[in-house]
Amino acid sequence: MNDFAFHRPKDLPTAVAAQKKATDGKYLGGGQSLLPVMKLGLAAPTDLVALSGLAELKGIRLDGKELVVGAGSTHAEVAASAEVKRAIPALAALAGHIGDPQVRNRGTLGGSLAHDDPSADYPAAVLALGATVVTDRRKIPADGFFKGMFETALAPDEVITSVRFPVPEKAAYEKFPHPASRFALVGVFVARGPAGVRVAVTGAAPSVFRVADMEKALASRFAADAIAGVSVPSAGLSGDTFGSAEYRAHLVGVMARRAVAACG
């Protein structure tokens, strides 16, 4: 790991200012995504700007018909939150099955979304629930936030401050976990809410994506067997030693049907 300057700002404006001045700076949330990448030599930032102590990024609350989760909230905090369990139980369940206890107690919602690992769980929830990613300067709808593998709509010095999740009528997440990392080999989040029925898939491709054919079928009849005949083409899906593109395409259908059934 290369040398770097470490910044622990007292507030959000100070953090942004430090990032602007850095030659190649990175924001540091819980460090569960960035630090392993640095140890492998795949990233060598000149500066790390710590966000973990900033009060502006904490807190979980219900605001009307939206659940607002601070970007600095850890996965463990989301999983244990009474507000999340009441408003969106599927989100609490998702957070409670991310990685292992160390990852859940250090990793953050904002860090996960900014890193945008193609197999991360949160992107599926954000996209399926039609959430809005709020930053220090704007609001980004979920459909416009994820751009590709490890790529989002964020500017280099932009900070996620919170995520606003519309409270759905029904929602569930089902994933087939990677045997070692517990990342999603394939994960499917299904939600029926203010924006209609939305189905989001993570782990199967270079970036999270929606399945329009499943959404259309479920909008007509919200039942697992309604999408039994809907398949996802394997072209463009990921393939590796743990699962071919064809296998992942099959798993999308399986996980989607399980998620619909779990909605009750």
DSSP state of 30: S
pLDDT digit string, tens, across residues 125-150: 999 999 999 999 999 999 999 999 99
Residue 81: per-residue pLDDT? 98
The model's pLDDT over 81-117, given as tens digits with 9 standing for 90+, comes to 999 999 999 999 999 999 999 999 999 999 999 999 9
Contact 27, 51 (CB under 8 A): yes
pLDDT at 264: 80
- Please tell me the distance from the alpha carbon of residue 28 to that of residue 115, in angstroms, as a whole number: 10
- Inform me whether the pLDDT recorded for 3 exceeds 80: yes
The C-alpha atoms of residue 180 and residue 24 are separated, in whole angstroms, by 32
Report DSSP letters for 135-176, one per residue.
ESS-EEEHHHHEEETTEES--TT--EEEEEEEPPSEEEEEEE
Give the count of alpha carbons within 13 A of 23, CB side only.
5
pTM, 2 dp = 0.95
> What's the mean pLDDT in 171-177?
97
Q: Can you list the domains of the chain with their CATH numbers?
A: 1-49 (3.30.43.10), 170-262 (3.30.390.50)
Evaluate if residue 69 carries a pLDDT over 80: yes
- Check pLDDT > 80 for residue 1: no
CB-count exposure of residue 178 (10 Å: 0-12, 13-18, 19+): middle
| Bridge partner residues of 133 (DSSP) | 140, 163
pLDDT in the model for residue 179:
87
Task: Confirm if 204 and 243 have CB atoms less than 8 A apart.
Answer: no
Label residue 66 by pLDDT band (50, 70, 90).
very high
* Whether 49 contacts 5, CB under 8 Å: no
CA within 13 Å, CB half, 62: 12
Radius of gyration of the chain (CA): 18
Q: Which residue has the higher pLDDT, 194 or 174?
A: 174
Percent of the chain surpassing pLDDT 70 = 100
**Spatial CB neighbours of 50, under 8 Å, sequence gap ≥ 6:** 6, 7, 8, 9, 15, 28
Query: Cα dihedral sign for 239, 243, 249, 255?
Result: negative
Confidence grade of residue 2 (pLDDT, cut at 50, 70, 90): confident
Tokens of residue 127, six digits: 């996209």
Match 């970036």 to its residue by tokens.
207
Pairing of strands 47-50, 160-166: unpaired
Tell whether the model's pLDDT for residue 187 goes beyond 80: yes
Q: For residue 53, what pLDDT is reported?
A: 87
Rounded mean pLDDT of 208-219? 98
Distance between start and end Cα atoms, the chain: 48
**pLDDT (mean) for 72-82:** 98
